[in-house]
Structure 1
Amino acid sequence: MRRFARRTALLVVAPAITLVAAAWLTARPGDPALYPPAPGDEAVEEAVEEAVIVRLVARAWHSGLLLPRDDLSRAAGKIGSGTLLEVTERFGAYPALEIGWGDAGFYRAVPTIDALDWRLALKALFTPGGRPAVLHVVGVAAEPGTAFPGAEIMTLPLSRAGFRRLATALGHAFTLRDGHPVEAGPGLYGPSLFYEAEGRFSLLNVCNHWSAGLLNEAGLPVTPLLDTLPQGLALDLAWRAPARAR
């Protein structure tokens, strides 16, 4: 019995140790010069500006970022991103934009967890070389809790410099044709559109990794292995950033 108990314990403990080691080895450090924001760390004309409030919206299988439209438009002007200027003008009637990235087929076909098709999910995750991706942009006028009932919302104050870094990476995520972002049809809910996107969706590069990558550009530390699921990403931010649930 003792020998059996030891073998059972080894079978449980060894994978756990392996996962912890893998998470530690693949963790990405943050940039203390960018996050957390500190008063006076910007240029003189921006020193009195408040931090930019960004929110992670984490649902059952997907996460996206809720970004203030005016701040995104201002950042686009500073970094010279015609792409983001065009997108923010397209949704000019809304104070915030929720932006997510994902598999072009799965994202459109599975608007909610109730619509989950495991065959489609497995195809999206395990297609060799990955699959084409899209961006989903939603104009949001309501408060986050009202706009996304049932979602876990993490509040993240970013420095202006960190937000510009995030905006730069976001601008590069749009596929361009003749210098313009390519619309790919109506979105899933509210005033929304799909856009063709750069990158390939796979098990090693899912929507939550994309959200984490943008936040890492803004200076936040992230742990890709933990961030595979939206609940893991929210936990990662609460643990390492830290973020606040709201």
Structure 2
Amino acid sequence: MPRRWRAARCGRESSSPTTRPVRSRRSRSWRPRPGGSRPTRTCGGSPGRPDLRRGLRLARRAAAVILFLVVAVAGILVPAAWLTARPGDPALYPPAPGDESVTVRLVAGAWHSGLLLPREALAQAAAEAGDGALIAVTERFGAYPALEIGWGDAGFYRAVPTIQALDWRLALKALFTPGGRPAVLHVVGVAAEPGAAFPGAGLVTLRLSRAGFRRLAAALAQSFATRDGHPVEAGPGLYGPSLFYAAQGRFSLLAVCNHWSAGLLDAAGLPTTPLLDILPQGLVRDLSWRAGAHAP
């Protein structure tokens, strides 16, 4: 068919499902020829099917773009994680065989993590160091064998107790406010076994040396904002016997609750990776890979 006829007919349907126009050699006029219908030809494609070659080309280009982005992100994040990784202190962690140790647990939820600490050991470490704020907190919750303590944005922490109550506007405001936002500490008295007290959370059990635990307690004491040497209560907590306390530090994308938990564990001698520790599950994986910790 001449090119000009093909261009004129490109993309048009046949005028009849059972006939197709042909040109008579004798009359040189167009008349229908009996016979079965023939699939129409689409521009640049094969009869009766979409342009597969064009689709394949687009798919290959999309795959190439995705691969490039993955490689580029990995090329940035992997060196960044390596450069910001904290080595830990082998003199503190893990405890030497036969040495006295203290068992603590990381409580990892969907978006937040905290530390479950034995209250008696914490009170002893606070008394040895003379940390008035920590002494007051352990006395305030003296009826409980363990304390679950977390740190976070003062507004978001109070307003979003569960993942179901998540408010993205508050979350974005907490993460991206220039200069960060005020922080609070949440302290809960825990009497039940960890699995029963936190049924929906991931628990990572860590055995710290006594010296490492004292370092953790000292870092925790520095997290409390004080007035005349006493911790500043900031209202009732979210669940169980709990209280909020005013805290040191500013909450931001570069300093979230999981970074705080990782920072206390790093003070106890554990190696951590802040870039991985932004999310609770990243912190759990980090502790598994670098500190040999395992969730039960």
- Tell me, yes or no, whether TM beats 0.5: yes
User: Larger C-alpha radius of gyration, 1 or 2?
Assistant: 2
Distance apart, 1:17 and its partner CA: 2.2
| Secondary structure of 1:98's aligned partner | strand
SS in structure 2 opposite 1:150? coil
Match of 2:80 in 1: 22
What stretches of structure 2 of length at least 5 have no aligned partner?
A: 1-56
Q: Where do 4+ consecutive residues of structure 1 move more than 6 Å?
A: none
- 2:100 is aligned with 1:100: no
Corresponding letter in the other structure for 1:185: G
Corresponding residue of 1:147: 197
| 1:137 aligned partner | 187
**What amino acid is the match of 2:95?**
P
Residue 262 of structure 2 corresponds to residue 212 of structure 1: yes
Q: Secondary structure at the match of 2:248?
A: strand
- Residues 177 and 25 of structure 1: CA distance in aligned 2, closer, same or farther (over 3 Å): same
Aligned residues, how many?
Answer: 238
Counterparts of 2:277 and 2:252, CA distance in 1: 14
Q: Which moved more, 1:78-87 or 1:126-135?
A: 78-87
1:33 equivalent in alignment to 2:91: yes
Name the counterpart of 1:195.
245
Give the SS at the match of 2:277.
helix
In structure 1, give the amino acid aligned to 2:152: G
Q: Tell me whether 1:90 sits opposite 2:122 in the alignment.
A: no
Partner amino acid, structure 2, of 1:144? P
Distance in 1, Cα, partners of 2:151 & 2:192: 22
In the other structure, the counterpart of 1:43 is none
Show structure 1 runs of 5+ residues with no match. Answer: 41-46
- Aligned partner of residue 104 in structure 2, secondary structure: strand
- Cα offset, 1:8, TM superposition: 3.9
Q: Which residue pairs with 2:21 in the alignment?
A: none
How far is 1:104 from its partner? Answer: 0.3
Q: CA deviation at 1:11?
A: 2.1
For 2:47, the equivalent position in structure 1 comes to: none
AA aligned to 1:242 is G
Aligned ranges 1:102-141 → 2 under 5 Å = 102-141=152-191
Larger RCO (CA within 8 A; separation ≥ 6): 1
Q: Percent identity?
A: 78
Moved more, 130-139 or 19-28: 19-28
- Secondary structure at 1:194 match in 2: strand
Q: What is the CA-CA distance between 1:21 and the residue it aligns to? A: 1.3
Matches of residues 10-89 of structure 1 in structure 2 within 5 Å?
A: 10-39=68-97, 50-89=100-139
Which secondary structure state, in structure 2, belongs to the residue aligned with residue 245 of structure 1? coil
Instruction: Tell me by how many angstroms 1:244 deviates.
Output: 2.0
Cα distance, 1:7 vs. partner? 4.5
Letter in 2 for 1:37: P
Residue identity matched to 1:200: R
Which amino acid counterpart does residue 35 of structure 1 have in structure 2?
Y
Counterpart residue type for residue 26 of structure 1: T
Cα distance in 2 between the residues matched to 1:182 and 1:3: 60
SS at match of 1:226: coil
TM-score, normalized by length of structure 1? 0.94
